[in-house]
Structure formats: structure tokens, C-alpha cells
């Protein structure tokens, strides 16, 4: 188990640990098939512990949510204002939706029943009093029947045999059917369909009338109400007959209503449940029933009263919770207001009462601590402001010391960045052009931080630039410079002009443009990394730090830079920062970043590296000055 996994496990409570143990035990029993009789018991125990875990986490989340003052105010406003309004709107919308939908279904169902009666009356009449001429008798009923059902079939058997229309293939229903009227499902060659029918038998005479239920028929039952369908039995057209909205509040209503319909083939079977759907709008239903009174059933009235009672109870509870939360907030704010009045008058001995262990209680306690130290802090703040002003000036001066322009060379690209941990930095890097297109660059790290380190950094820069300028002038533009000699001179000067505890690591290099050769001296600095041909070479130290000893021997080494080689020099602020577990970032991670972004721009390589270091530490403040110099052979 990793260290961070152990930390997470230690933070879990007993309930969570038992829950995870039971889940693991159940998984083991399930996968191995062992002790199958205990699997159910373990599963039930794990479920119960899971519920307990969810309840515990919910309570913890609720406490954390209302601990902050802002969240408490939000909860108070929700209980006082939002919840009642939402309940009112939901009640109004739900009630109106149900009423409009029920009324629409009632209107359509009533019209359908009326039309089906036009089938029942001719069937009963022709059965009880058979006509000698069935066609003449049918002619009396035909107009009314066609107005109700444009398409229908009729079969008359008994004393008179008659079919309408003549090519009708309608057969008598199965034997158990007697006198009946209403809706029925009948299966034919195309599948099962829905019909309106009437069947009558009397003294050997039998009349059967069958009319198909179509979408057009249903839509025209109540003109203007919208779309009407039986699910699975009727199909609507591509153009919806639902009327357009009259205004923004004219919402669409889709109401589902069950109807129980028997089967033609199985008279004794239980009726099927079919779903009857009406798609309409508020304006369409209100326009049809305008001026009429709707009779509500006892059940609808009882449901409405129950909803009103529930709404009233929720409103009372919401009001009570909102008032209680508001009083705790306003009481604490009032005490804070009184305290600020005393502080404004200069009374720093006034203390406000601390009530509760939430954020308001901590705020009151913090206010008391603040008033106790405010007088002293005012003096400290003024002194700090003066020091920060001086540090800002020092930082401005130091920023002027870093190179603003990179010397131009045909075969070398340089980029340097320094991010100080404080206002000023003890890290140092510099570029300087030399005669013949050559150049020199350096990077260093002064022991310590702050103003003293920044001053020593400025001394190092001044010394090196003075040496380079004087040697160039004395040699008439020739280039017999020695990195080791210049670092030795710097060491003697620093030792002579600074206190014994002041020293610095220093890396200095001279680049020959003609030979593409880099001659360097590493005075105790972290070894730069040279990426060449996929391999990384460390340019190790060739001498001790500068400024610590009066006499020190420094050597120099030369490497040839091939096209595409990348040299990265850095300070300890890159590789030595630690994460929360005390583990340093390290050179290996820096090598990985160098390989990963070797083809990227030098600025991006530096930015990605420093970003990775900051993420590694997990802290907002840098632990040490971070400086990087990237030299790329082009």
C-alpha cells in the first residue's frame, strides 16, 4: 500500500471501514463460490452499512455546507422565499395540468360514447322489429350512422339476410357474445385493430355493426381540441392537429387515460388495458368548456385538500427554519456591529460574546483576537509597508541587472528565467557577447535569501562583466580568455570583500562560435545537463564554491556542441523543493522533462519545468529561488 493510500485509509471512520470490508468479503465469496449460504447475509450486512455510510456522509456534508456564513444565508433564503414559491407554482401547474387533461379526456370520451350509441340504436331496432325490406330500413338510419362513422360494416341474419356494403366480409361474432356495444379489438389479416361495434340478438335475429376507429375519426370527435390517439392502434399524421399556443403561458397538455376493451375472438377473456392519449392545450380546452361548470369528484377534491394541507405544513416548517437561521445570523452580525463601533472609537478592550461552534462563532472569536492585537498590528503594518517599499525598489534594481537582450550568435540560442522566492533573489544568470561572435554565460546561486543575497549577486555580476570588459580591451579583441582564471579571480575578490559566511556556487562558460566548443568551469554548482543524441551528460563540478576560501584551484573542461544539443543549467530551487511527504523533486524528474520537451521552444521548456516543480510542492509560495538557463545548438 502506498503512503498516500495509508493516509486516506486512516481518515476513514469505523462505519466506512466495516462497509469496505464487507464489500470485499462479499466479492471474494461471490467470485470463489465459497460459503454460498453466507453470501446473502454478507450482502445484506454490506447494504445496511452502505446506507449508514451514506447517512453519515450526508450529515457531514450538511454540516460542512451550512458552516460557512454564505451557505447559511443561502439556505435561509431558500427556506423563506424559494421553497414556498416553488411549491405554489408546482401546485398550480400540477393541479391545472390534471384538470385540463381530465376535462379533455372527458369531452372526447363523451363524444365517442354518443357516436357509439348511433350504432346501438339501429342494431336493436332491426333485431326487435325485422323489416321486410332491410335496405329501406337501413336507409332511415344511414345518414345518422354515416355522420358518426363514415365507414362501417353491417351484418343482419335471421328472418332477413343482409350485408352492408354488399362486398362486406363481416362474419357473426363468436357464440358467447350477446347484446353488446362499445369498443372492441379484432384481429384480421393486417393485424389487430380497434373498432366501435354494436351487437344485438332477439328471437333468432342477429345484427352486428362494426366501425373502425381511425385517427381522423378521433380528432374530429371534439373539433379544435387537438390530437387524439389510442396507443398502438391509431397513428397520427405528420402535421399535428394540436392548435398553436395563444400566449407564452398556453402550455401543451398530454394526458394519458386507460380504457378496458374486450377482444372479438376471446369474449370470456379479461378486457385489455388500452391507453387513450389526448394532446391539447389550455386554451383549447377552456375555449370548449367556457361558460360550463365542471363537476369534480370527491376523490379529486380530497386530493386537492391533501395537497393544500401538505403545502401549508411545508410552508410552516420552511418559515420556522428560515426564521431560526436568520436570527442566528442577524444576532451575530449585530454583535459584530457593536464591536466595530467600539473599535472605531479606539476601545480595543471591548469583547463580543462567542456563541456556538460554527463559522459565526469562529468569526466572533477572531474579532476578539483582532481587537486585542490591532493596536500593535497598526505599528507593525506601517513598518512592513516601509520595508515592502524598499524591497520593491530593490527588486526593480535587480531586474535591471538581469540581461534584457540575448546576444546574437549564428549557432546558439539562449534563454534564461529567474523566479525569486521573495521580493529579491539570490540567484544569478548573465549573458555577454564577445568579439568574433563568441559569447559567455553564467549561472550562480548565492547562499541565503533576501537583500544580502541579492547584494552579493550584484557583486558577482559586476565582477564578471568588469573582467570580461578589461580582458577584451587589453587583448585588442583577441580571445585568449580562460574560464578557470576568471573564476579564480572572482573567488579571490569575493573572499576579500565579503564576510566569511558568504559564498556562492557558480557555473561559467565561454562559447567558441567557430569551433562550436563550450569551455566551462563549474565552481561547486549543480551539474548542468547536456542532452546530445538522446543521451544526457552531467557537466560535473571542476572546483569548489567561490568566496569561501582565499586560495582555490579551478579547472576548465571543453565540450563540442552538435546541432540539436540542449544544455540546461539550473539552481537548487529546481531540483530540491519537497512535496508534502518530504520527497525532493530530484534530477531524474528534471531529466525526464528535458527529454520530453527537448524539441519544444526553450521558453516552453522552462515554463513546463517550473510548472511541474510548483505542482510537486503543492504550495502557493516558492520554497527557493528558481532559475534556469537553456542553451540550444541550432
pLDDT at residue 623 is higher than 90: no
Domain boundary among 295, 312, 334: 295
Question: Domain check: are 410 and 539 in the same one?
Answer: yes
Nearest to 505 by CA among 482, 521, 485: 521
Q: How far apart are CA 375 and CA 382, in angstroms?
A: 11
Kindly write down the DSSP assignment for every residue of 329-383, as one continuous string: HHHHHHHHHHHHHHHHTT-TT------SSSHHHHHHHHHHHHHHHHHHHHHHHHH
Question: Domain check: are 222 and 122 in the same one?
Answer: yes
Domain boundary among 295, 327, 359: 295
Q: How far apart are CA 401 and CA 428, in angstroms?
A: 9
The C-alpha torsion from 546 through 550 and 553 to 556, rounded to 10°, is 30
> Is 525 domain-assigned?
yes
Main-chain phi, psi angles of 439, to 5 degrees = -155, 165
pLDDT at residue 294 is higher than 60: no
Domain that holds residue 115: 99-295
pLDDT of 69 reads: 61
3 state DSSP class of 111: helix
Main-chain phi, psi angles of 421, to 5 degrees = -75, -25
Kindly write down the DSSP assignment for every residue of 581-629, as one continuous string: TS-B-HHHHHHHHHHHTTTS-HHHHHHHHHHHHHHHHT-SS-SS-EEEE
Among 113-117, 196-200, 331-335, the minimum mean pLDDT is found in 331-335
Residues in CB range of 591: below 8 A, 6 or more apart = 529, 536
Question: Domain check: are 104 and 179 in the same one?
Answer: yes
pLDDT at residue 301 is higher than 50: no
> Is 55 domain-assigned?
yes
pLDDT at residue 297 is higher than 60: no
Mean pLDDT of 150-170: 88
Mean pLDDT of 30-36: 77
pLDDT of 3 reads: 53
User: What's the number of domains the chain is made of?
Assistant: 3
Question: Domain check: are 154 and 250 in the same one?
Answer: yes
> Is 348 domain-assigned?
no
Mean pLDDT of 34-62: 85
pTM over 0.75, yes/no: no
Mean pLDDT of 238-249: 81
| pLDDT classification of 340: cutoffs 50, 70, 90 | confident
List the CATH number of the domain containing 572: 3.60.40.10
Question: Domain check: are 43 and 127 in the same one?
Answer: no
Higher-confidence position of 510 and 238? 510
Question: Domain check: are 158 and 51 in the same one?
Answer: no
> Is 312 domain-assigned?
no
Contact 422, 448 (CB under 8 A): no
Contact 418, 606 (CB under 8 A): no
pLDDT of 2 reads: 54
Question: Domain check: are 448 and 560 in the same one?
Answer: yes
Question: Domain check: are 146 and 18 in the same one?
Answer: no
Question: Domain check: are 422 and 538 in the same one?
Answer: yes
Question: Domain check: are 246 and 174 in the same one?
Answer: yes
Q: How far apart are CA 58 and CA 45, in angstroms?
A: 20
Mean pLDDT of 78-99: 83
pLDDT of 251 reads: 85
Q: How far apart are CA 571 and CA 444, in angstroms?
A: 7
Q: How far apart are CA 431 and CA 443, in angstroms?
A: 9
Question: Domain check: are 419 and 558 in the same one?
Answer: yes
> Is 88 domain-assigned?
no
Domain boundary among 295, 323, 346: 295
pLDDT of 304 reads: 55
DSSP one-letter code for 435? G
pLDDT at residue 344 is higher than 90: no
Question: Domain check: are 60 and 103 in the same one?
Answer: no
> Is 479 domain-assigned?
yes
> Is 308 domain-assigned?
no
> Is 77 domain-assigned?
no
- Taken in order 170, 175, 177, 178, the sign of the CA dihedral is positive
Amino acid at each position: 500500500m502506498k503512503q498516500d493510500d495509508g493516509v486516506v485509509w486512516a481518515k476513514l471512520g469505523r462505519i466506512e471501514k466495516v462497509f469496505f470490508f464487507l464489500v470485499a468479503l462479499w466479492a471474494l465469496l461471490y467470485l470463489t463460490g465459497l460459503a454460498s449460504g453466507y453470501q446473502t447475509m454478507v450482502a445484506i450486512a454490506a447494504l445496511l452499512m452502505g446506507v449508514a455510510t451514506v447517512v453519515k456522509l450526508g450529515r457531514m456534508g450538511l454540516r460542512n455546507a451550512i458552516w460557512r456564513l454564505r451557505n447559511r444565508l443561502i439556505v435561509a433564503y431558500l427556506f423563506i422565499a424559494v421553497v414556498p414559491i416553488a411549491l405554489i407554482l408546482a401546485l398550480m401547474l400540477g393541479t391545472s395540468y390534471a384538470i385540463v387533461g381530465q376535462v379533455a379526456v372527458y369531452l372526447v370520451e363523451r363524444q365517442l360514447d354518443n357516436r357509439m350509441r348511433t350504432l346501438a340504436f339501429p342494431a336493436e331496432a332491426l333485431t326487435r322489429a325485422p323489416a321486410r325490406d332491410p335496405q329501406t330500413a337501413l336507409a332511415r338510419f344511414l345518414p345518422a350512422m354515416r355522420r358518426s362513422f363514415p365507414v362501417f360494416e353491417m351484418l343482419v341474419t335471421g328472418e332477413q339476410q343482409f350485408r352492408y356494403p354488399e362486398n362486406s366480409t363481416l362474419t357473426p361474432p363468436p357464440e358467447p357474445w350477446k347484446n353488446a356495444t362499445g369498443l372492441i379489438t379484432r384481429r384480421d389479416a393486417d393485424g389487430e385493430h380497434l373498432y366501435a361495434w354494436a351487437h344485438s340478438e332477439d328471437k333468432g335475429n342477429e345484427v352486428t355493426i362494426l366501425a373502425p376507429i381511425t385517427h381522423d375519426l378521433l380528432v374530429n370527435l371534439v373539433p379544435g381540441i387537438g390530437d387524439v390517439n389510442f396507443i398502438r392502434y391509431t397513428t397520427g399524421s405528420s402535421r399535428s392537429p394540436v392548435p398553436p399556443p395563444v400566449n407564452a403561458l398556453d402550455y401543451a397538455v398530454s394526458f394519458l387515460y386507460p380504457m378496458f376493451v374486450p377482444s372479438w375472438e376471446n369474449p370470456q377473456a379479461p378486457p385489455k388495458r388500452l391507453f387513450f392519449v389526448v394532446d391539447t392545450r389550455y386554451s383549447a380546452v377552456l375555449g370548449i368548456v367556457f361558460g360550463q361548470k365542471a363537476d369534480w369528484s370527491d376523490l379529486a377534491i380530497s386530493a386537492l385538500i391533501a395537497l393544500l394541507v401538505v403545502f401549508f405544513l411545508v410552508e410552516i416548517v420552511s418559515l420556522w427554519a428560515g426564521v431560526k437561521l436568520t436570527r442566528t445570523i442577524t444576532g451575530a452580525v449585530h454583535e459584530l456591529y457593536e464591536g466595530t463601533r467600539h473599535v472605531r472609537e479606539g476601545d480595543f478592550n471591548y469583547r463580543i460574546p462567542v456563541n456556538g461552534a460554527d463559522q459565526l462563532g469562529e468569526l466572533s472569536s477572531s474579532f476578539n483576537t483582532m481587537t486585542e492585537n490591532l493596536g500593535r498590528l497598526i505599528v507593525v503594518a506601517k513598518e512592513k509597508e516601509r520595508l515592502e517599499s524598499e524591497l520593491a525598489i530593490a527588486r526593480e534594481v535587480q531586474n535591471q541587472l538581469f540581461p534584457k537582450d540575448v546576444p546574437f550568435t549564428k549557432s546558439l540560442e539562449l534563454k534564461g528565467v529567474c523566479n525569486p522566492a521573495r521580493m529579491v533573489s539570490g540567484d544569478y544568470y548573465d549573458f555577454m557577447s564577445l568579439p568574433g561572435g563568441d559569447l559567455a554565460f553564467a549561472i550562480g546561486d548565492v547562499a541565503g535569501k533576501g537583500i544580502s543575497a541579492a547584494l552579493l549577486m550584484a557583486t558577482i555580476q559586476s565582477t564578471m562583466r568588469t573582467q570580461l570588459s578589461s580582458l577584451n580591451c587589453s587583448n585588442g579583441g583577441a580571445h585568449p580568455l580562460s574560464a578557470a582564471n576568471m573564476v579564480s579571480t572572482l573567488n579571490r575578490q569575493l573572499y576579500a570583500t565579503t564576510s566569511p559566511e558568504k559564498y556562492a556556487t557558480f557555473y561559467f562558460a565561454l562559447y567558441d562560435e567557430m569551433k562550436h566548443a563550450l569551455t566551462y568551469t563549474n565552481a561547486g554548482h549543480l551539474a548542468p545537463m547536456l542532452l546530445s543524441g538522446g543521451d544526457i551528460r552531467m557537466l560535473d563540478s571542476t572546483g569548489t564554491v567561490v568566496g569561501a576560501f582565499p586560495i582555490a584551484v579551478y579547472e576548465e573542461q571543453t565540450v563540442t556542441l552538435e546541432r540539436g544539443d540542449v544544455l540546461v543549467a539550473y539552481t537548487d530551487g529546481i531540483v530540491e523543493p519537497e512535496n508534502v511527504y518530504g520527497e525532493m523533486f530530484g534530477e531524474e524528474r528534471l531529466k525526464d522533462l528535458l527529454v520530453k520537451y527537448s524539441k519544444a521552444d526553450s521558453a516552453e521548456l522552462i515554463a513546463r519545468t517550473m510548472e511541474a516543480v510548483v505542482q510537486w510542492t503543492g504550495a502557493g509560495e516558492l520554497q527557493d529561488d528558481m532559475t534556469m538557463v537553456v542553451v540550444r545548438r541550432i
